[in-house]
Amino acid sequence: MKIIEIKNLYKIYNETEVEVKAVNGIDLNFEKGEFAAIVGPSGSGKTTLLNLLGGLDAPTSGDISVDGTSLGKLKSSKLIDFRMNNIGFVFQAYNLIPVLTAKENVEFIMHLQGKSKKERDARTKELLTAVGLEDRINSRPTKLSGGQQQRVAVARALASKPKFVLADEPTANLDSKSTENLLDIMERLNKEEGTTFIFSTHDQRVVNKARRVITIEDGKIISDEKKN
């Protein structure tokens, strides 16, 4: 089942006369349950593409539709709610609210959605256990390692059961052990919860874990390979 359809997508930045085609004509589809990596050198347009996919930025032209809803047609206030209810985000850094504990960070979006305490508690416990932080529930982010913080971020992204999770270089600031650990967790959640993961990276070990590898360069797809 197709959940994301990208058609003829362009994002052109006009920095003082010089035109930067950060996304330069991309057509791409994602199926439900994928575990896909977007790979490419720095400056190739990975972040721009993920931001467009997540509705954080508007394309210069082209269209993205999620489950039949065209993001370009949503008003900005509707778009925010759409993001809250359908898309999970993991960024390279600054994922967590420093004044909230791990548990509170994970349930934050469920709070915004008005979910009941019972539901929030159950889901938070389940996810923090899944990412191996059941004993750090009440720790604030500053008391957690970089790897642990990213695991909380993954749990937060999954809390409201989004249609897909976008992770822009989630391991960029992690050592190799934490990187492997985070990828294993993401992979397991992908299998167990059936959540679609799309993540960008330029780390070969991360690429190896992906079941689909989309390589881009200068805003264009140069290869798109699926493994078994």
Binding region for ligand ADP (CB under 6 A): 13, 15, 20, 22, 40, 42-48
Q: Which is nearer to ligand ADP, 45 or 162 (CB)?
A: 45
- Quote the DSSP letter at residue 116: -
- Contacts of residue 75, Cβ cutoff 8 Å, sequence gap at least 6: none
Residues in contact with Mg ion by CB under 5 A are 47
At closest approach, how far in Å is the CB of 99 from other proteins?
4
Interface residue with other proteins among 14, 16, 77, 228 (CB under 8 A) is 77
Task: Give the whole-angstrom CA distance, residue 100 versus residue 107.
Answer: 10
Residue 89 partner contact from other proteins, Mg ion, ligand ADP, none using kind-dependent CB cut-offs of 5 to 8 Å: other proteins
Q: Which stretch binds other proteins (CB under 8 A): 29-37, 108-116, 188-196, 210-218?
A: 108-116
Q: Which is nearer to other proteins, 76 or 228 (CB)?
A: 76
Task: Give the whole-angstrom CA distance, residue 59 versus residue 71.
Answer: 10
DSSP annotation string for 54-108: TTSS--SEEEEEETTEEGGGS-HHHHHHHHHHHEEEE-SS--S-TTS-HHHHHHH
Q: Which of residues 163-222 bind other proteins (CB under 8 A)?
A: 172
**Pair 197, 209: CB distance under 8 Å:** no
Which residues sit at the interface with other proteins, rule CB under 8 A? 42, 47, 51, 54, 56-57, 77, 80-81, 83-85, 89, 91-95, 97-100, 104, 108-109, 111-113, 156, 172
